[in-house]
Amino acid sequence: MHKLADSTDAADMMDKPKKKRAAAQLKDEITAYKRRRILEEASHFFFANGYEATTLDSVAEQLNVTKPFIYSYYKNKGELLYEICQTGIQLSLTALEEALSVEGTASEQLKIVVERVARIIIENQRYVTVYLREEKCLLPEDARRIRELRHTFDTKLAALLERGKRSGEFDVQHPSRTAIWVSGLLSWIALWYHEGGRWSATEVVMDAITMVQKMVQPAGGARA
Amino acid sequence: MHKLADSTDAADMMDKPKKKRAAAQLKDEITAYKRRRILEEASHFFFANGYEATTLDSVAEQLNVTKPFIYSYYKNKGELLYEICQTGIQLSLTALEEALSVEGTASEQLKIVVERVARIIIENQRYVTVYLREEKCLLPEDARRIRELRHTFDTKLAALLERGKRSGEFDVQHPSRTAIWVSGLLSWIALWYHEGGRWSATEVVMDAITMVQKMVQPAGGARA
DNA sequence: CATAATTGCTACCAAGCAGTATAAACAAAG
DNA sequence: CTTTGTTTATACTGCTTGGTAGCAATTATG
């Protein structure tokens, strides 16, 4: 990402003819595409075999390229892991933020949040699972950044619970602690769901909604 | 464990004087102790750095012994991992079974189950976390045995939920699926709890009880 | 067609580590 | 004090793998 930004730098572009600019842009798109493909295959291997047990040679083979090819798009193995973990948590966070931008009562918003985040987690299971499992393999600085994203997620979720508590919709005695249980329940989906297994993605998402609603539901029971 | 049983074999013992028998028994206890110590230190490293990233040399160093020492008590690194994973799930299963042996209504039993299992998971976090994280590193045969224990756990939990459903204490539309959410919530503790962190073990256990109760609670609300 | 630049590959290295062959140290028994 | 068996360490091997130096092939440019 940084490299990419550098080479499409404004200073470079301004004094070059249109043609060169267009060519440079296309090249950057191709570079971005190659990076995405490498990341995608790497995530398959990290998910199936774990980070340490995965060799970059095997990733390269799967892409029909060689190891130095990968090294010309990523600085090292750790950068691959970081981008995968980052993707895992960032996708969830974005889904949360988009859901929160939909107007509605706290209960309505919570339902949308759980539905969308659960779907995103299932669709991007590889990234989320690697993030949950391999955090310990990240460099301290990278791990800090990831934890920060996670913290933002939990904080925004806690704010929603707090809102529902104030409005009387939810019965939670400690919103920020409850938020952790809810986000744990969502994370658990990535570790447990198996495509083509006993239960469909839709069933799992609906179950998750039900479970979370019950977790925050006041003693009187839920309303329609 | 197997080796140990072999060397205290009845055939060996019967035709030997009392003294030798006693000496052999003591020796076996010492062997068992050494195995436990190795496992304990290994679990620390596997928990902190992951299975693949842990070297047996570092485990040996921590114990002030050498690598061949470990190899004279365990056949290879994989056997260590298997015993750690096995401990992680077996402890939880035993806690569940003991809790289920306490007489009471389904609600009462469920509360005891969650309390005891949550405590066991916190106390043995290293073993449980390694089991959840490193299952993919196990040999297929070992992985199968572990999954069987997990399945027994989920099945027994589902049976309890089924009982509560029949008696009208619980509102669960699909006991075996709900059991997975409950056992996921419990597993999540191992991945998330941090000793000396923001919340005490007791708070976490009490929270877990509350969350599970709400998850199965009928719409009318909970009774005392 | 020649020249320059970019892109990917071949071939390699250094390090780390699981696992072992063998010897030393120690203990038990006579 | 020797003999015999057991326990642990020294010292090594063979292999894997992250990472790189330098070359070949391809493409763009004049």
For strand C, is any atom closer than 7 Å to the CB of B218? no
pLDDT tens for each residue of B90-132? 999 999 999 999 999 999 999 999 999 999 999 999 999 999 9
Torsion region of B196: left, alpha or beta (phi above 0 gives left; psi -120 to 50 gives alpha): left
Whether the CB of B52 is below 8 Å from some CB of chain A: the reply is: yes
With CB atoms and an 8 Å threshold, state whether A53 touches B180: no
- Is-contact B179 B158, C-beta < 8 A? yes
Closest CA of chain B from A109, distance in Å: 20
What pLDDT, on a 0 to 100 scale, did the predictor assign at position B8? Answer: 38
CB of B187 less than 8 A from some CB of A: yes
Q: How many CB pairs under 8 A join A and B?
A: 79
Task: Look at A133 and B137 and tell me if their CB atoms are within 8 Å.
Answer: no
Find the residue in B nearest to A200 (Cα).
B177
pLDDT of residue A24: 65
Which region holds residue A60: left if phi is over 0, alpha if psi is between -120 and 50, else beta? alpha
Residue A55 CA, nucleotide D16 C1', distance (Å): 10
Average confidence (pLDDT) over B52-71 = 96
A65-83 residue pLDDT tens: 999 999 999 999 999 999 9
The pLDDT assigned to A56 comes to 97
What is the C-alpha separation between A148 and A88, in angstroms, rounded?
Answer: 13
- Note the pLDDT of residue A28: 78
Nearest CA in chain B to A210: B215
Proportion of chain A above pLDDT 70, given as a percent: 87
In order of start, what are the domains of chain B with their CATH numbers? 16-74 (1.10.10.60), 83-224 (1.10.357.10)
Substitution target from A47, A174, A181 for chain B, most B beta carbons within 10 A: A181
pTM of the model: 0.89
Structure tokens at B184: 């996921």
Question: How many Å does it take to go from CA B109 to C1' D14?
Answer: 56
- Percent of chain A scoring above 90 in pLDDT: 83
Compute the nearest-CA separation of A52 from chain B (Å). 6
**Percentage helix, strand, coil, to 5, in chain B?**
75, 0, 25
Q: Is residue A4's pLDDT more than 60? A: no
| C1’ C29 / CA B14, Å | 21
pLDDT band at B219 (very low <50, low <70, confident <90, very high): confident
Residue reference for tokens 């892991």: A81
Q: Is B155 on the interface with A (CB under 8 A)?
A: no
Flag if A191 and B132 touch (Cβ within 8 Å).
Answer: yes
Q: Is the pLDDT of residue B208 over 80?
A: yes
Gap between the Cα atoms of A72 and B78, Å rounded? 35
Q: Are A135 and B47 in contact (CB under 8 A)?
A: no
Distance from C-alpha of A60 to C-alpha of A2, rounded to nearest angstrom: 23
Contacts 24+ apart (CB under 8 A), B115-118: B115/B205, B115/B208, B115/B209, B117/B92, B117/B186, B118/B186, B118/B189, B118/B204, B118/B205, B118/B208, B118/B209
Identify protein residues whose C-beta is within 7 angstroms of any atom in strand D. A 20, 23, 53-57, 67-68, 71, 76-78; B 27, 31, 34, 64-69, 72
Rounded Cα–Cα distance for residues B56 and B73 (Å): 13
Are the beta carbons of A212 and A188 closer than 8 angstroms?
no
B68 contacts B29 by C-beta, under 8 angstroms: no
B72 touches strand C (CB under 7 A): no
Closest C-alpha among A126, A61, A60, A117 to residue A91: A117
Q: What is the mean pLDDT of residues B180-194?
A: 98
- Are residues A49 and A133 in contact, defined by beta-carbon separation less than 8 angstroms? no
Question: Rounded mean pLDDT of A141-153?
Answer: 98
Cα gap B96→B114, rounded to integer Å: 8
A26 interfaces chain B, CB cutoff of 8 Å: no
